[in-house]
Amino acid sequence: MERVTPEQQGMDAGRLARIGAWMDRYVDARKYPGCSVLVARGGKEVYHHATGLRDIERNLPFERDTVARIYSMTKPVTSVAILMLAERGLFHLDAPVSEFIPAFRDMTCLLPGAVDIGQVKACATPTLHHLLTHTSGLSYPFNPGLLPAVMNDVDILFKPDQGSLEAMANKVADLPLAFEPGARWEYSVSIDILGRVVEVVSGKSLAEFFADEITGPLGMTETAFSVVPQGRDRFAALYTPLAGDAMALNSAQKGAETLRRVDDPQTSPFLEASMHSGGGGLTGTLDDYMKFTEMLRRGGELGARLLSPKTVDFMRRNHLRGDIASMGPASFAEQPMEGMGFGLGGSVVLEPGRTRVPSSVGDFSWGGMASTFFWTDPVLDLSVVFFTQLSPSSSYPARAELKALIHGAVVA
């Protein structure tokens, strides 16, 4: 990506420099171990800053080429994979997931007010569209509710050392849904299930499909489910401010140490991942993910065409009947739900005023549990990627603050 002066792209260099000062404050206050940001406008780089440490215990700097766990920023990649296969006429989005994973036949969902996992009724099978939009009735173990509690008990989280995607998808199908498909919005493992659909339809493992069809063509040579061999000495540690499990949000308690290491980069399961989690398994670098972000901004093409502009436009539209807040969510979220819709694999700003975060209508974004974040802005022609390694991502309001900083630097 060509680097230009901010003024060439209608941005103020002095105002952009506020971002670095803001990041430095987060590191100095021991909120983040280290972090890095990349800002592009009109396909030209206008700002980058990195600060702090990727590994506090070993005193290693957080740099532009640091390899990080991107967790749920994997979801848009898997969603692109599904849309690529749909463009080939291999299925339509209203197809029930049971056409690809037979274990999802004869589904049940919890009765309203159920207090036991056995209190269920028969219901429809979720469609691919339900899965793409988190309206499937699936959930996550860190959400509140009966189904998440059972998922937590049986350890359904698609972690890198949890075996095959096929086996875990079948395990999910053994449980009832939290609600009838389409009734609500609830953040869930649904994109992991779609990762298995990609495998079934393509005849390749999800890792192979990504490498052959997405990361390879885009030149994302540092992005994979297992940390790439050449990136192992640049792999970051993961930290949490919580006293217990960094993802046990239902019982979260702040610890005395704001940066407690919970995954050592030298022994991490991400070094040799057995699970290809389409919902949260990828590791990679800031510049690699900017290539993916730029592909979306450019309408499906960056050196190679993955999707048509019409399909990307379809992906970035709101696919809910209102905003997320109107869909009765009961799940974890680190971003606004009022004024925010949901597309295919990411959120979509419907009304910036209602989100209470400086935005443009049509902003498409998503983040990861380790506080990584990206967005594209079709009005201001922006692409932004932010990396750090702190879980959970709801610890600090960094995403809203970063958007305000960047909007404050746009002067033309």
Burial 23-51 (b: 16+ CB within 10 A, else e): beebbeeebbbbbbbbbbbeebbbbbbbb
Q: Give dist(CA 286, CA 92) in Å, integer.
A: 33
Burial, 153: exposed, middle or buried (Cβ in 10 Å; 0-12, 13-18, 19+)?
exposed
Q: Is the pLDDT of residue 248 over 80?
A: no
At 397-411, the pLDDT tens digits run 999 999 999 999 999
Q: What is the pLDDT of residue 329?
A: 86
Residue 2 · residue 46 · CB < 8 Å: no
Amino acid at 124: A
Sign of CA dihedral 241, 245, 249, 253: negative
Architecture of domain 81-202: 3-Layer(aba) Sandwich (3.40)
Mean pLDDT, the chain, rounded, equals 96
C-alpha Rg value of the chain to the nearest Å: 20
Confidence grade of residue 249 (pLDDT, cut at 50, 70, 90): low
Determine contact, residues 155/161, Cβ cutoff 8 Å: no
How does residue 244 score in pLDDT terms, banded at 50, 70 and 90?
confident
Tell the residue number behind the tokens 């603050």, with chain if given.
401
> What angle in degrees, to the nearest 10, is found between the helix axes of 75-87 and 190-202?
40
Compute the residue count for the chain.
Answer: 412
- pLDDT of 335: 78
The answer to whether 138 and 188 have CB atoms below 8 angstroms apart is yes
The CA distance from 298 to 261, in Å, is: 38
Domains 6-73+206-407 and 81-202 belong to one CATH topology: yes
**pLDDT single digits (tens) 118-155:** 999 999 999 999 999 999 999 999 999 999 999 999 99
pTM given for the model: 0.97
Q: Which CATH code fits 6-73+206-407?
A: 3.40.710.10
Convert the pLDDT of each residue in 60-92 to its tens digit.
Answer: 999 999 999 999 999 999 999 999 999 999 999
Reply yes or no on whether the pLDDT at 45 is more than 90: yes
Phi, psi (5° rounding) for residue 375? -155, 155
All structural domains of the chain with their residue ranges: 6-73+206-407, 81-202
- From the list 190, 147, 185, 186, the residue with the least C-alpha distance to 168 is 190
Judge whether residue 163 has pLDDT over 70. Answer: yes
Look-up of token digits 């949901």: 342
Span 386-402, average pLDDT: 96
pLDDT at 247: 72
pLDDT at position 252:
65
List the single range of 39-53, 151-165, 233-247 with lowest mean pLDDT: 233-247
Cα 57 to Cα 60: distance, rounded to the nearest angstrom = 8
Torsion of CA 20, 388, 390, 145, to 10 degrees: 110
Strand partners, 284: 68
Percentage helix, strand, coil for the chain under 3-state DSSP, each rounded to 5: 35, 20, 45
Six-digit token string for 226: 């297992």
Residue 351 has pLDDT above 80, yes or no: yes
Average pLDDT over residues 5-31: 98
